[in-house]
Structure 1
Amino acid sequence: MPLTDGIGRNVAARIGLVTLTGFILSAFCAFFVYAWVFENHPGVVAAPHHWKPQAVDYAVIVAAVLTAIGLAVMAGALLARQIVLPLASLAITAQRISEGDLTARATVGKRALRETAQLVEDFNRMAQRLQAHAEERIAWNAKIAHELRTPVTILKGRLEGVADGVFQIDDHTLTSLRRQIEGLARIVEDLRVVSLAESNHLDLQLEAVDLSQEIGALREIVQPSLSAAGFEAQWRLEPALAVCDPTRLRQAALALLENARRHAVPGPLVIRTATFGAFARISIEDSGPGIDADRAAHIFHPFKRDPSATGSGLGLAVVRAIAEAHGGLALHRNTVAGGSLFTLEIPRQPARRPAV
C-alpha cells in the first residue's frame, strides 16, 4: 500500500539517520574530550601514539554502526506498522464509505498505539451512526409513502368517480373530499414538524401566555367530536403562566386529545393545566386501557403504533417534538385506575441561548 510504504520508509530512514548522527557526534565528542584530558591530565590516559586505530578497530566500529542502524531501522519499521496499518485501514474504509458501502469498518491491529486505536474506534462509531441514519431515512421514506398512499388513493378514486359520473358533486361528496384533504394536510404538517425538530430547526414564536386560556380555547373545537365518541371531557384548567409558542402547544394538545379519542375507551377524559415549580404542564388522562411497558418505551417515536391502530403514527411524535423544542419533555405513565396519563411539561421561562 502506498500509504504504508511511504510512511514506513520515512520513519525507518529518519531513525537510521538519527542513529548514524549519534555515532558521529559521539566520535567527535570523544575526540575532544580525550584531547582535553591528555592536555590537562597527561598521566591519566595513554600517550597519543597509542591512540592510532588498527584495522580491527575500524572493523569493530563499522560493525557497531551497521548493527545499530539495522536495529534502528527494524524498530522504526515496527513503529511505522503500528501507526500506519490502522491509518491505511482508515483510508481504505473512508474510500469505501464514500463509494456508498456504509457497512465498511476500519480494523486495528493488536499492537496498535492507544491513540491510533481510539481514532479507529471513533471513526467506526461515526460510520455506524451514518449507516443507522441512512437506514432510518430509507424506513422513513417507505413509511411516509405508506401514510400518504391511502388518502391519495381515496381522493383519486372519488375524483375519478365524479369525472365518470359515478358520484354526484353534492354536500356529502364534497365533505368526504374535504376530509381526505384535511387528513393529507395534517400528515404533511406533522411530518414537517417532526423533521424540523429532528434537525433542530423547529422555530418557535415565544410569548407570555396563560396555558389555561390557550387550552380552554380548544373546548369548543374538540367537545363535539369527543362527546360523539362517548367521552366525558372534564376541563380542570388552573392558571399556568409560561413564555412559549401557544400555537405549537395547542397543536400538541390537539394531538393528545385526538390520540385519546382514537385509542382510549369511552369514558371520563380529564384535561388539566397546572404549574409545578419552574415548569408548566398540560396533561390528558383517559380511562384505559393503558399501555404496556414494551410499547410505552417507544410510544413517542414516529410511526410506532399497533398494526391494527388507526392514524398516521405521528401524533405523539409531534407532541414530543414540540415539548423538546421548548426545552421540555413529553411523558407517559399508566394510572392506578388503569388508564393513561400523557403530560407535556415545559419550562415557564425559556432557557437562555448562548450568543452566536
Structure 2
Amino acid sequence: MKLWRPGITGKLFLAIFSTCLLVLAIMHWGVRLSFERGFIDYIKHGNEQRLELLGDALGEQYALHGNWQFLRHNDRFMFQILKSFEHDEDGRNPNMPPHGWRTQFWVVDQDYKALVGPRGPVPSDGTRRAINVNGRDVGWVIASPVERLTRNTDINFDRQQRRTSWIIVALSTLLAAAATFLLARGLLAPVKRLVEGTHRLAAGDFTTRVDSTSQDELGKLAQDFNQLASTLEKNHNMRRAYMADISHELRTPLAILRGELEAIQDGVRQFTPESVASLQMEVATLTKLVDDLHQLSLSDEGALAYQKKSLDIITLLEVAAGAFRQRFDSRGLSIRLALPDHVTIFGDSDRLMQLFNNLLENSLRYTDEGGQLLISGEVNQQRFIMTFADSAPGVNDDQLNRLFERFYRTEGSRNRASGGSGLGLSICKNIVAAHGGTLKAGHSPFGGVSITVELPLIQNQ
C-alpha cells in the first residue's frame, strides 16, 4: 500500500495548522486553569466572609443562651440568621459577600458534634472558623472544601463555561484551518509557477517566463529566473547561429577545393603550378579559418588558465608594433606611437601579444595604401586606455556596432576580399574581457576605424 506523502502545499498547511492547534490548546488550558483558580479563590473568599459573619452571629446567640440548646436541630433558627444576611446584602452593605452559599457548611460544638448541617461526616479538610465567646472557643463553623466543588463540576456555571470554551476552540480550529489553507495556497502560488517554469526550461523551452508580481524574495527569485531563461535563450540562438556560420564559412573554401580537384580530374584544367597555387591558396584560407576558430575557443574566459603576472604593457605594445613595421612599410602605411614610458598591469603576456597582433593585422588589412595608424595611450583613474586609430576607409554606424560579432565582415572596402575570417575582433574582445577590461569601436579622426582598449591597472601602481 502506497503511503500518502504531502507536497510542499500540504506540508506548509500542516505546519501552520499544527501551530495554530498548539496555540489554541495552550490558550484553552491556560484559560481553564485561570478560571478554575480564580473561581475557587472567589468562592473561598466569599465563604470565609460568611463563616466569619456566621461565627460572630452564633457567638452572640451563645452568649445570650449560655449553651447550644437553642441551635441543636433547630434549622429554622439557622434559616433566620441566613435570611438576615441576605437582608443586609439587599441593603448593599459593602462588607457583605455575594449572595448565597457556594458550599455546604456545618456548625459543631466544642466536642465536634454536629449541631446544624447535612447528614454525613464533617469534612476534616474543610475551611473552619472558631466561635469564640469571652475568649473561649465554644464551637466551629466548618465549610466543605471549595476545590471539591469545581473538581466534581457541581456548578452549572462551571459546566457552561467548559461547554462555551470547547465551542470557541472548535470554531477557532475551523477558522484556523480555512485561513491556513488560503495562506498556504497564496504563499506557494509563486513557488508553483517557478517549479512549472523550471520544468519547461529543463525540457528545452527557453522562451519560458514567470510572472513576478511581488518585491519580496520570491519576486526577486522570479526575476532572476526570467533573466536566466533570457540568457539561455540568447545563448541557444547564438550557438545555432554560430554553428550555421561555421558551416557556411567552411563550405566555401571546401567547395572551391572540390571544384578545382574535379576539374583537374576530368581534364578540364591542367595540373600546373598555377592550379597548385590556387589550391594552396584555398587550403591556406581554410587553415586560417580553422586556426581562428581554435584561437576563438581558447580566448574565451575560462576556456584555459590565463598565466597572469605583473608586466609592462608598453614594452609588449612596442614589440608588437616593431614586428609589423616592415609589413606596414611595404604597403605604404605608417605606424606612430604616442604612449607613456611605463604602465604596469596584471595580465597574460602571450594573450595580450595576440590581442595587439590581431588589432595591428586588422588595420594592416583594411587600411588603404598611403594611410596611417596611430597607437596612443593614457592612464586615467586606475585604467590604461589605448586607442588604435587608422585612416580610411571607414564604416557606417550600423557596421560599427557589429564589428565584434563573430564572422561579421563589413561590406565595401573592409570585406572578405582582404582575406579575413571575421573572427579577429571577436578574439580581441574575449581577451580583453578575460583581463577585466572593455573593448569599444568608434570613428577615427583620420577617416577609418578607432578601436579603444581599456585595461585595469595594478592598484598599488
Report if TM-score (shorter chain) is over 0.5. Answer: yes
Bigger drift between 262-271 and 45-54 goes to 45-54
Q: What does residue range 270-289 of structure 1 map to in structure 2 within 5 Å?
A: 270-272=373-375, 276=379, 283-289=387-393
SS in structure 1 of the partner of residue 450 of structure 2 = strand
User: Could you say which residue in structure 1 is the equivalent of 2:45?
Assistant: 43
Letter in 1 for 2:323: A
User: Could you say which residue in structure 1 is the equivalent of 2:66?
Assistant: none
User: Could you say which residue in structure 2 is the equivalent of 1:354?
Assistant: none
User: Could you say which residue in structure 2 is the equivalent of 1:341?
Assistant: 450
Deviation, 1:80, is 0.8
- 1:333/1:340 contact within 8 Å kept: yes
In 2, Cα distance between the equivalents of 1:249 and 1:222?
20
- 2:321/2:335 contact within 8 Å kept: no
SS in structure 1 of the partner of residue 442 of structure 2 = strand
Partner of residue 269 from structure 1, selected from 364, 368, 372: 372
Which structure dedicates a bigger proportion of its chain to helix? 1
| Unpaired runs of at least 5, structure 1 | 352-356
Deviation, 1:139, is 0.9
User: Could you say which residue in structure 1 is the equivalent of 2:426?
Assistant: 317
In 2, Cα distance between the equivalents of 1:7 and 1:256?
57
In 2, Cα distance between the equivalents of 1:280 and 1:23?
69
Partner of residue 187 from structure 2, selected from 74, 83, 90: 83
- 2:300/2:431 contact within 8 Å kept: no
Question: What's the TM-score, normalizing by structure 1?
Answer: 0.78
In 2, Cα distance between the equivalents of 1:222 and 1:169?
35
Partner of residue 209 from structure 2, selected from 101, 105, 109: 105
Q: What does residue range 108-187 of structure 1 map to in structure 2 within 5 Å?
A: 114-187=216-289
**Structure having the higher Rg:** 2
Bigger drift between 204-213 and 299-308 goes to 204-213
In 2, Cα distance between the equivalents of 1:274 and 1:85?
56
Structure showing greater relative contact order (alpha-carbon pairs closer than 8 Å, 6 or more residues apart): 1
Q: What does residue range 202-351 of structure 1 map to in structure 2 within 5 Å?
A: 202-204=304-306, 210=315, 211-221=317-327, 223-224=329-330, 227=331, 231-236=332-337, 245-272=348-375, 276=379, 283-307=387-411, 309-310=415-416, 311-346=420-455
Taking a change above 3 Å as real, the CA distance of residues 34 and 284 of structure 1, as seen in their structure-2 partners, is: closer
In 1, Cα distance between the equivalents of 2:283 and 2:211?
53
Taking a change above 3 Å as real, the CA distance of residues 35 and 285 of structure 1, as seen in their structure-2 partners, is: closer
RMSD: 3.7
Deviation, 1:123, is 1.7
SS in structure 2 of the partner of residue 141 of structure 1 = helix
Taking a change above 3 Å as real, the CA distance of residues 27 and 287 of structure 1, as seen in their structure-2 partners, is: closer
Deviation, 1:199, is 4.3
Partner of residue 191 from structure 1, selected from 281, 286, 293: 293
| Unpaired runs of at least 5, structure 2 | 47-96, 103-145
In 1, Cα distance between the equivalents of 2:327 and 2:365?
16
CA deviation string 1:125-183 (max 9, x = no partner): 21121111111111111111112221121122223333334444443333322222222
Taking a change above 3 Å as real, the CA distance of residues 117 and 33 of structure 1, as seen in their structure-2 partners, is: same
